[in-house]
Chain A
């Protein structure tokens, strides 16, 4: 490990390079020493101080280095006015550029806008990226926190551990200083207002201590509360404490009744701690010791792998060492205990990697897009500023001829550019936070609630810095070149058209902008197409006009499973009494877009290899209404019927993928398959659907539908079909169910379409951002093209006038200017298409249903770009046509 201050010194050394060499050589070493001492004073006094210190250092260095350069340019001698009058002088020098800038408001405004847009857009993405992917998790020593997963070879799936696995690891892994296990816990809170199903987390000893969480009220679990036979204790979430129990401190020590027994409330977790169930990030309401959430069977069953783990590496231990040890334990103990699972292995990963890996992959394209937007913004600002300073060469040379010092002119141009760029950067900085908030509102990102996404100073600084430096260079270099011209020679060219080389420089910039914009347009187009292709039609079932809810039938309400069908009938009757309900379908356990746990499928003649590996399928028990209500078509045989309850052998309808494995739809009907340990006779084949929803990507889904009446379940989902807005039915339906079965909670109540929509939340933020970037880039390019052509027309006003006088028609002139614009765009388009092809690999990682290289998208992007280019050229073209021969010649 390097000493902590070392990096800071390296950074400062880089900053020192901004000074002129002479100054650096004279004072550099001594400044370094001074900085080191200063930095030591700040070190370790918190991030806020560090940020303030660094931004002040950077700003002070930039400003004084700039002044030092100006001074060196002025001839390097001592300040003519001595050291004492600089301030007043600088003010005087600012007055002049402000006057000049207000003289050309359109260019000034465009430059400010460019830099503001680039700063805000880029920093929004960088902020999102750094706060979700880069920043350490907000736990003490977060970089040493790890999770151990069961990893299925050849896949990217992460699975949980069994309690036995956990014990072996906890006792055997010496590289882990601590290891806790957590599990998803579901309890039914019983209150005066009926039963409520709540989610929480079951944890082993040391959980809160490992994460450095302190109780908001009361205390967390003591060691002996994790022992078998101890009194069940519970910690509530801050929100539940406030919302459900009125934040009453007297609640501590009292008991909460649940369907599985009562728990003593001993403490409240802080509001910002959301727990560590990090796959769907549920709102957890409580924590209990794992021992009170487990059955005896779960404690000893090696294959009941539903627990997650969090561990901390021993100090000075590398992740690789822990991984090696975990693998050894895995091979020595775990595998010898469950020899069938040769495809499984234990794997160690930094904590958060399970959700960060995906974010990181998707962010790549977004970072690329942000970089491209920054490039377009910088190019545009550069183009505008350089053409402006080229235009002013005449003025500059005149002033040189009149005796103005070169240094003074350079300083003035520098000051002008600095004013424009700082205004742009300031505006961008102001706009960035609300912009980011708007993005996040539009498309909430699925990240743990403990991550705060706040504007990132470094991101802002980086984006603004790139733009400001580019603009400064672009704004001043042409001017520097300009002022070197000898007055006599330069004056004679004053008023003539701009040189060919300079014009083609401006056009080259536009070509680059067009090219980059095309890449962005293609990316955004692909993402939009991909997003749409995830939409309803591809799921294979109807989602509109459907409301779903799940009833968790309690034994108090229905004692025997055999009586469940009777309850189903009463559910149908009571919900069907609402005139707005057209049809009711029942399925156990879950309705789309969610699926229950997988089970294995087998059949006679199944290849031995498949049999050993186990082919996973999802078994849904459905009533006869289910397939028709969701409009899942039957492609062979028949659907599930009421009489199926009494068939001697259970019947099943399988999805087309299952039928395919069995040799096709017609072959499959009549065959027998073993699903979840029961033999079913196939009576029909349904088309394949994305039962689990659009986002979880699987190679194929094997679904089996069996008769609900024959095998009734205690978790039953109800799908209501209605012509009304499904959400209107929520209140009345849940109330009716509550009256029917007061102790049985109702949960997962959502319009089906809303639930499907929820699955898109993750991908949506990328679509929104990329579309926003592509349109910004398109806008900037249009402005750039317009500016270049307008400048061209203005400069060649005289020539155009002569041509008009010689008989050139207006239409011809319009055509000529538009053709010029389109020619520039065409070169850019060609380059951009190549770029889009090159970027296809990056796009592919975030696409679904379309390839990275998609001709329609490319073509559409080209058309949009050409249309915008034609529009941007049309205005200057019309201006050219309006040039009157007489006035042009006069001018």
Chain B
């Protein structure tokens, strides 16, 4: 675990220089999980609905695993309220506090990019 800068210093703001930008897929996963904790398949469906091109089971779970290990995402001990548990579905995943920070940092970065684009007239409105 020592190699992950995120888990090493969870209380510190997420390092902006080294770890950003997040991969687009990571951003989408984090956003989807912020909306509602999900199991793997639900996440997949959500991403597809959001216009992400086909995400495959294998790559998705690899991403999830990386996010779990770097502490951006955590597995819930119990299914979220109001959801009938389906044991086959496996774990439910939710965004951790660190994950929210990382996502916020990335979104800020994106916003600053958009603002720069606006200042040079590439983007309007």
Residues B59 and A27 in contact, CB atoms below 8 Å apart: no
Output the least CB separation between A816 and chain B (Å).
53
Interface residue? B115 (CB, 8 A) = no
Q: Does B69 contact A (CB under 8 A)?
A: yes
Q: Which of B52-106 contact A (CB under 8 A)?
A: 54, 56-67, 69-70, 72, 86, 88-91
Instruction: For B58, give its contact among A65, A78, A82, A83 (CB under 8 Å).
Output: A65
- Given A83-B66, A84-B26, are A61 and B58 also a contact pair (CB < 8 Å)? yes
Contact A82 B6 (CB under 8 A): yes
Interface check A260, CB cutoff 8 A: no
Residues of chain B lying within 8 A (CB to CB) of residue A34: 40-41, 44, 57, 60
Contact yes or no, A33 B59, CB < 8 A: no
Q: Which of B20, B23, B44, B61 contacts A83 (CB 8 A)?
A: B23
Q: Does B13 contact A (CB under 8 A)?
A: no
CB-CB contacts of A58-98 with B at 8 A, as 1s and 0s? 00110111011000000001111011101100000000000
Q: Which of B5, B39, B44, B58 contacts A63 (CB 8 A)?
A: B58
Interface hits, A15-63 → B, CB 8 Å: 19, 23, 26-27, 29-35, 37-38, 56-57, 60-61, 63
Contacts of A87 in B (CB 8 A): 23
Contacting pair A78 B69 (CB below 8 A): yes
Complex partner residue of A27 from B7, B19, B22, B90, CB under 8 angstroms: B90
Within 8 A of A (CB), among B1-58: 1, 3-7, 19-23, 26, 39-41, 44-45, 54, 56-58
A30 touches B58 (CB 8 A): no
Query: Which single residue of chain A is at the shortest CB-CB distance from B44?
Result: A34
Given A33-B88, A78-B66, A83-B70, A38 contacting B44 (CB threshold 8 A): yes
Contacts of A30 on B, CB cut-off 8 Å?
39-41, 61, 88-91
Residues in B whose Cβ lies below 8 Å from that of A63: 58-59
Quick check: A77 and B19 within 8 Å, CB to CB? Answer: no
Nearest-Cβ distance from residue A271 to partner chain B, whole angstroms: 37
CB neighbours (8 Å) of B45 from chain A are 37
B48 to chain A, nearest CB (A): 10
For B, the interface residue count at a CB cutoff of 8 angstroms equals 38
Docked complex Cα distance between A29 and B65 (Å): 14
Q: How far is the CB of A62 from chain B (nearest CB, A)?
A: 9
Chain B residues near A56: list those with CB within 8 A. 54, 56
Instruction: Kindly provide the distance from the CB of B29 to the nearest chain A CB, expressed in whole angstroms.
Output: 10
User: Is B1 in contact with A78, judged by CB distance below 8 angstroms?
Assistant: yes
Residues of B within 8 Å of A31, CB to CB, are 40, 57-58, 61, 90
The dominant DSSP class at the B interface is: helix
Complex Cα–Cα for A79 and B62 (A): 11
Interface size on A, residues (CB 8 A): 31
Q: Which residues of A contact B7 (CB under 8 A)?
A: 78
Cross-chain contact B1 with A83 (CB below 8 angstroms): no
Beyond A78-B3, A83-B66, is A29–B58 a contact (Cβ under 8 Å)? no
- A37, B41: Cβ atoms under 8 Å? yes
A68: chain B residues within 8 A (beta carbon): 62
**Chain B neighbourhood of A84, CB < 8 A:** 19-23, 26
Chain A residues, Cβ within 8 Å of B67: 83
Q: Taking CB as reference atom, which chain B residue is nearest A57?
A: B56
Q: Which residues of A contact B88 (CB under 8 A)?
A: 29-30, 32-33
Q: How far is the CA of A37 from the CA of B42 in the complex (A)?
A: 10
Expressed in whole angstroms, the minimum distance between the Cβ of A289 and any Cβ of chain B is 53
Whether A27 and B63, one on each chain, are in contact in the complex, defined by CB atoms closer than 8 angstroms, is no
Q: Which residues in A have their C-beta under 8 angstroms from that of B1? A: 77-78
Report chain B residues within 8 Å CB of A57: 56-57
Cα(A506)–Cα(B54), bound, Å: 44
Task: A34-B60, A82-B4 given; name 11 further pairs at CB < 8 Å.
Answer: A31-B57, A33-B39, A38-B44, A63-B59, A64-B56, A65-B58, A79-B69, A79-B70, A82-B5, A83-B67, A84-B22
Q: Which 8 A-B pairs have the closest CB atoms?
A: A30-B90, A83-B66, A64-B58, A60-B56, A34-B41, A78-B69, A33-B88, A80-B3
Question: What are 26 of the A-B contact pairs (CB < 8 Å)?
Answer: A23-B65, A27-B61, A30-B40, A30-B90, A31-B61, A31-B90, A32-B88, A33-B40, A34-B57, A38-B44, A56-B56, A57-B56, A63-B59, A64-B62, A65-B58, A78-B1, A78-B3, A79-B3, A79-B66, A83-B26, A83-B63, A84-B19, A84-B20, A84-B23, A86-B23, A87-B23
Interface residues of B (CB under 8 A from A): 1, 3-7, 19-23, 26, 39-41, 44-45, 54, 56-67, 69-70, 72, 86, 88-91
